[in-house]
Amino acid sequence: MRLRQAAWIVVALTGLLGLAQYAVGLHALAYDRTAIAAGQWWRCYTASWVHYTFAHLAMNVLALALIAGVLLADLPLRSWCLLLALLPWAVSLGLWYGRPQCQVYAGFSGVIEGLLFFALWRARRSDPILYGLALAFFAARLAYEHTPWYDPDYLHAWIGVAVAPSAHLAGAALGSLLALIGVGRDKLVTVR
């Protein structure tokens, strides 16, 4: 498999998983603090793969396609698998501990933030100025999302729910960490 194909497989699978929610139901898979506390821990992972509206799903798949096609087209499939295995958990842990008032959540935007920051840190090696400026811009946007001036309801008409900045922050933090420790490099250090 060519590495470029791996990125598009991820985009297609994300879209298909998002559509599969209509067979199972959003509320069986979404982050629900009460259900998680009662033992339905899988929701911490599945919440990232379900969406409140079709527009919500479409926006997230489009953002993923842009990141995958422009910044992560050469990422090996094993790195994609690692990122998509870990980032949803980080998003839910960020909500659980960082925003305890959040009772429900669904969507891929926290994972997208993680992928974006991962990609920008990784690309920074090839062009430190350009990607350093992009990192600074997106970090400033993330900081703005945590100010009193930010309106988390600005997309409510499209996605049916308020934006969850804590999910974005958790995804960005883990994506950055994974890039900085070397995930996705040609040669990974393996622990034996």
For residue 15, being part of any structural domain is answered with yes
For residue 125, being part of any structural domain is answered with yes
Angle at which helix 109-123 crosses helix 77-98, to 10 degrees, equals 120
Strands (E) in the chain, as ranges, are: 31-32, 104-105
For residue 187, being part of any structural domain is answered with no
- Closest to 68 (Cα-Cα) out of 5, 110, 19, 130: 5
pLDDT in tens, the chain (192 residues): 444 666 677 777 777 777 777 767 778 889 999 999 999 999 999 999 888 888 888 888 888 888 888 888 888 888 888 999 999 999 999 999 988 998 999 989 999 999 999 999 999 988 999 999 999 999 999 999 989 998 888 887 777 777 888 899 999 999 999 999 986 665 443 333
**Burial zone of 127 (CB within 10 Å; 0-12 exposed, 13-18 middle, 19+ buried):** exposed
For residue 186, being part of any structural domain is answered with no
Q: Please state, in angstroms and rounded to a whole number, the distance separating the CA atoms of residues 180 and 118.
A: 8
- Closest to 109 (Cα-Cα) out of 41, 56, 45: 56
For residue 152, being part of any structural domain is answered with yes
Is this model's pTM higher than 0.75 or not?
yes
pLDDT in the model for residue 185: 64
For residue 18, being part of any structural domain is answered with yes
For residue 37, being part of any structural domain is answered with yes
**Residue 184, by phi and psi: left (phi above 0), alpha (psi -120 to 50) or beta?**
left
- Closest to 83 (Cα-Cα) out of 18, 179, 17: 179
For residue 123, being part of any structural domain is answered with yes
Q: Domain holding 99: CATH number?
A: 1.20.1540.10
- How many domains would you assign to the chain? 1
- Domain residues for 107? 3-180
